[in-house]
Structure 1
Amino acid sequence: MSPAKRAPLDRRRVADTALRLLNETGLDGLTLRAIATELDVKAPALYWHFKDKQALLDEMATEMYRRMLAGTELDPDESWQERLRRINRGLRKALLGYRDGAKVFSGSRFTGTDHAPTLEANLRLLTDAGFTLTQAVDAGQTATVYTLGFVAEEQGVRHLPGERRAGYDVEERARRLTEFPLAAAVGELLFDDYDRQFEEGLAVVIAGIGARYGIS
């Protein structure tokens, strides 16, 4: 038995193991039984820490967020636009580090208060820029939901970076749609260069937030 498996079983260790297995199995294949096998314990032992799979997903999302924040520092002098860009670029990068990362993160509830200092600082920056608290929440939520949705679509095509799912051959798609030249041409725009797509969409979202609330 390895030293890692002799370590005390706790929520964070279980979540860490689950995140490692996630890249092998995907979310649908991730079971408490598989995690227990990897940890060399009986499945019922996990129920002392997690009442069900959703509780485990909450802890996994929390651990993903901890890792995303690790080693980063907020710049109090950046604009609200720069802050939203940086947060959502970081979120996308973090989610892409795990197969089905966006699915795990979406709808999950943070299990601790690790997120509170950053959330407080972000809300303070937006309200200092002229947003009401409600507007600041709506602005942040809109940008976050855009990122989650984008990454969910991106990972639907590419489970992991460099791995395109079968059926997304852009050239074959263009051949099948030769009678519809515009529709045929957008295959490369839809299913390639996700970095460009993400940045353009995020720019549109942030510009729209500024226009909506009249804050530059």
Structure 2
Amino acid sequence: MASKIDPDQVTDTALRLLNETGLDGLTLRRIAKELDVQAPALYWHFANKQALLDAMATEMYRRMAVEPLPGPDAPWQDWITSAARRLRHALLGYRDGAKVFSGTHFTGNDHATLMERHLGALIGAGFTLKEAVLASSTTYAFTVGVVIEEQSVHPLPGHQEPPFDLAERAQRIGLDHPLSVAAGETLFADFEEQFERGLAIMVAGIAATVPGLAPTGRA
């Protein structure tokens, strides 16, 4: 007999609990308890935790996809940077959001609509399809990686893990490594600046390595 819950309920509950438990503590048993059902009831909808993570990542993407996109005549740089910023913002909305998102597979084809518009805008600006995919996937990987590092330091907004306390780190590294100590101010103190600077480097690198791009606007 089918369970009284549906997949959307399970996914929404899992995303809500994620901020309480983190990825390691998010178990099917914990979700079942929250839904007041037996754990086996979840297996009607998700064969294992990975299947649930796929559904969670898909829902995270759907929620992100409702945010405004650049206009049809926006320069290609806006499409690259806005996609990265929207992704970072979405991942930071959940504890371990980047770890959940990384390595998962979307269920359904909802993501294809946004991907089509994004790739189409880049091709219209002078990218080949291959160049557009490589530029987008490289920027995506950069963004996910930065957020994974950011969330290892700040699992939740306003909370910092003890190993990344700058004063404690400086004392542990010692006076013999002044550059390494000073680097902590950039590595662990301002992830917004770190992300934006890295994103600017990515855009400059794309512009320098993809021939025939229009500097701004469309080709």
Q: TM-score, normalised by structure 1?
A: 0.93
For residues 6 and 132 of structure 2, what CA distance do their matches in structure 1 show?
36
| Native 8 Å contact 2:77 2:203 kept in 1 | yes
> Which structure's relative contact order is higher, taking Cα pairs within 8 Å and 6+ residues apart?
2
For residues 54 and 16 of structure 2, what CA distance do their matches in structure 1 show?
16
For residues 54 and 72 of structure 2, what CA distance do their matches in structure 1 show?
29
Instruction: After TM superposition, list the pairs within 5 Å mapping 1:119-198 onto structure 2.
Output: 119-176=115-172, 177-198=174-195
RMSD between superposed Cα atoms in Å = 1.4
Q: 1:84 aligns with which of 64, 72, 80?
A: 80
Structure 1 residue 156 displacement after superposition: 0.8
Per-residue CA distance 1:69-95 (angstroms, 9 max, x = gap): 225344212111111111111110110
Per-residue CA distance 1:19-78 (angstroms, 9 max, x = gap): 011111111111111101101111111111111111100000011011112253442121
Show the counterpart of 2:199.
202
Structure 1 residue 198 displacement after superposition: 0.2
For residues 184 and 30 of structure 1, what CA distance do their matches in structure 2 show?
35
Per-residue CA distance 1:82-116 (angstroms, 9 max, x = gap): 11111111110110111110000001111012111
For residues 190 and 166 of structure 1, what CA distance do their matches in structure 2 show?
15
Structure 1 residue 167 displacement after superposition: 1.5
| Native 8 Å contact 2:69 2:82 kept in 1 | no
Q: Which runs of 5 or more structure 1 residues have no equivalent in the other structure?
A: 1-7
Runs of 4+ in 1 over 4 A off after TM superposition: none
Tell whether 2:53 aligns with 1:57.
yes
Q: 1:213 to 1:71 in 2, by over 3 A?
A: closer
Q: Which amino acid aligns with 2:75?
A: S
* Residue correspondences, number: 210
Structure 1 residue 203 displacement after superposition: 0.7
**Partner SS state of residue 162, structure 1:** coil
For residues 73 and 206 of structure 1, what CA distance do their matches in structure 2 show?
18
For residues 10 and 81 of structure 1, what CA distance do their matches in structure 2 show?
41
Percent of aligned positions with the same letter in both sequences?
Answer: 58
For residues 181 and 210 of structure 2, what CA distance do their matches in structure 1 show?
38
Structure 1 residue 210 displacement after superposition: 1.4
Instruction: After TM superposition, list the pairs within 5 Å mapping 1:24-39 onto structure 2.
Output: 24-39=20-35
Show the counterpart of 2:104.
108
**Partner SS state of residue 168, structure 2:** helix
Q: Which runs of 5 or more structure 2 residues have no equivalent in the other structure?
A: none
Q: Which amino acid aligns with 2:103?
A: G
